[in-house]
Amino acid sequence: MDDIYLDGRHYDRMFAPSGDVEFFLRQASTCGGPVLELACGTGRILQPIHDAGFASTGIDRSPGMLAEARRKAQSAPSSPRYIQGDITNFTLNERFSLVFIGGNSLCHLLDIDSFQACMACVRRLMENGARFVIDVYVPKLELLTVDPEARQPFTEYDDPDGSGRIVVTQTYRYDPITHISSVKTYHQFPGGAPEVEGSLQLRMYFPQELQALLRYNGMRLVGAYGWYDERPLTSNSPKQIYVLEAG
């Protein structure tokens, strides 16, 4: 990912789903602690879980994201433990009652080998009876088939440095063989500043494929939801949220 995605201040403003914090708080209340978040980013989800009294650990490979997480934690009584690392290759001397990966971060696992390596790490760290929760969007076919050269509106947000409103557009190129979408974003800053480009790759995980991969990697499905209010997963769901156990 380019620098624009590795600045946690911009990231939090670009991607702000509603309802996910409350959902994961409910999961923590059901499972108890300790809690581990994979690809924890700026601690947007993990800090409230920690504030609710659950011992919490987050792992992320981006120093910029973790710096923002630690900065935000300065105003809290205490902070989760944040670790810089690769979610496909890490070890911790602890087991967890709840492990989760939210915010569509699963899409950064671009191939089957990376997916399986991540699942192997997760299984090693789950206590008996622990749960693993995945939150990722259902791929939208209309987005996968857009003209890859045509810019699409993406979002607007307030510049964290206070210069005004930032308008973001994007182009989207999907490879049906690899299921990888190559995304370019164009950030137009106020005041005539030069446009800033960002790019990242995202692996699309379709529901039947993802469920099969999870089962193949030793995970048993105990719940499937289509949104954070725990409504059932259906053909019209924007999200696929899976609650899993090892075995």
Q: pLDDT means per 10 residues in the chain (247 residues)? A: 68 81 97 96 94 96 91 88 96 96 96 97 95 96 90 90 90 96 92 85 97 97 97 97 94
Domain match, 26 and 79 both: yes
Burial of 91 (0-12, 13-18, 19+ CB in 10 A): exposed
Helical (H) or strand (E) element with 12? helix 8-14
Q: Which domain holds residue 216?
A: 3-137+205-246
Predicted confidence at residue 1, as pLDDT, reads: 46
Domain match, 109 and 41 both: yes
Domain match, 196 and 128 both: no
Residue 102: φ, ψ to 5° = -115, -170
Domain match, 198 and 106 both: no
Is the peptide bond prior to 34 cis by the omega test (within 30 degrees of 0)? yes
CB atoms within 10 A of CB 195: 10
Q: How far is CA 23 from CA 15, 29, 49, 132, 231, in A?
A: 17, 10, 10, 14, 12
Dist CA 14 CA 198 (whole Å): 12
Domain match, 199 and 232 both: no
Q: Are 217 and 245 in contact (CB under 8 A)?
A: no
Domain match, 19 and 65 both: yes
Domain match, 104 and 170 both: no
The number of distinct structural domains making up the chain is: 2
Token digits of residue 134:
């995945």
pTM assigned to the model: 0.92
Predicted confidence at residue 236, as pLDDT, reads: 95
Q: Are 69 and 56 in contact (CB under 8 A)?
A: no
Domain match, 133 and 169 both: no
Domain match, 237 and 181 both: no
Partners of 242 in beta bridges: 134, 224
Which one, of 184, 168, 16, lies nearest residue 104 by Cα?
Answer: 16
Domain match, 10 and 129 both: yes
- E strand intervals along the chain: 35-38, 56-60, 81-84, 96-101, 126-137, 152-158, 165-175, 180-188, 196-203, 219-225, 239-246
Domain match, 92 and 161 both: no
Domain match, 166 and 237 both: no
